[in-house]
Amino acid sequence: MLARSALVVASVVTALSILSGCTADPEGSSPVTAVADPPEHHGQCGVTDPTLAQLAKPRGKTIGTAYRSTYAQNDPCYREVALAEFDSLTTEIGTMMNTVQPEPGVFDFREADAVADLAAQHHKDFQIHSLIWDPLDQLQWEIVPSAIRAMAPDRRHQLMIDSITTVMKRYAGRASTVTVVNEAFDQVGHLQPNAWWDTTHNDEYIFDAFRAARLADPTAELYYNDHSAETNSDKSNAIYDLVKRLRDTTVEVDVNGQTVARPLIDGMGFQGHMLGGADQQPNISDIESNVQRFAALGVDVRFTELDVRVPVLNGVATVADLDRQRLVYNMMTQVCLNQPRCTGLTLWGFTDKRSWITDYPDSFSGYGAATPLTDDYRRKPAWKGIADALR
């Protein structure tokens, strides 16, 4: 096992050295840099042109990342690389209920403001994630704080509406896209009996949530978002039915002094938490046909939380799995490029040093290395997979 681990580490180091333009000399001494014209650098963290944002712009797509301001506090490269590589920032946790309203009626906008302000200062698109979410498989996260969960259903329902209204009004004109409701369905297409469903015992709470969001900010693009919905399945069928009914339901709003009827929803977010190991490549034709049927409803689509987990041994992936990961990133990017209503991609973390998979390794036993950059911000084959598709 130790010998195999050493071989894996050596293979990955060799591959990354090649990607970074360095090769080791035959005697095993210091690396020798390949002769090439020096690329243009951004700051001190090794980002060179072209960046993913630069490649995406002429294709009419945005490429973004989830962002946490706390990750940048003692790591300036986290901020610098995010601003160089991406043209859209999504607040990863800043508008989740346990962050933005840790107690009933008590709001804390520090994290969301930090991301919104950073995006505005650097002329980046700003997106909001998951106003209403209650992951029943991860109750230990307490996305819905215990004090809110303990409220009577009618009071909890009103708190939901008030919370959405408050957040939407605060970021009106600043957030281009808002995930209003996240992961309302289980894997077979049934509504999850979560803390919000419990207030109406049907999908009425979802309609009320979108209605509150639309009334609070008529101009923001409102999205429903879910995982494991990329292909045709019972789950995606149930979501399709919901999105169709939301799209067919309108509410009158004031836009520039004019009263207009707007549908409750503008877009469908496919999270895109993918697997990239052997025999785990996605069925791209199935994804394309599923995405197309949502687009045919007249809504935009986006891959909102794209990452690609691969098998790891002691945190290290094989060269073969890194190449399979590259292929998945490439194919998912190509799906978006081929779909006119796809607005772009958002990566759910961009460096293996800082991501939800790195933070919760026990949830993904035996898998990791899911992002396009190493833990020291070097570009992996996955980065090249995205870049090659955009080129």
- Over the Cα atoms of the chain, what is R_g? 22
CA-nearest of 200, 213, 287 to 246 is: 213
DSSP H or E segment with residue 306:
strand 300-311
- Position 114, amino acid: A
* H helix runs in the chain, sequence order: 2-19, 52-56, 76-85, 97-100, 110-121, 146-149, 153-170, 204-216, 234-248, 284-295, 319-338, 356-359, 381-390
CA-nearest of 109, 128, 239 to 179 is: 128
The greatest distance separating any two alpha carbons of the chain, rounded to the nearest whole angstrom, comes to 75
Q: Is the dihedral of CA 383, 365, 285, 266 positive or negative?
A: negative
Judged by DSSP in three states, 296 sits in coil
Question: Is residue 183 annotated as a catalytic residue, yes or no?
Answer: yes
Question: Is residue 221 annotated as a catalytic residue, yes or no?
Answer: no
CB-side neighbour CA atoms (13 Å) of 205: 29
Paired with 191 in beta bridges are: 185
C-alpha distances in Å from residue 105, one per residue of 60, 110, 328: 40, 16, 43
Q: Determine how many CB atoms are found less than 10 A away from the CB of residue 79.
A: 18
Choose the catalytic residue: 80, 85, 111, 183.
183
Strands 273-275 and 125-128: unpaired
Residues taking part in catalysis: 183, 305
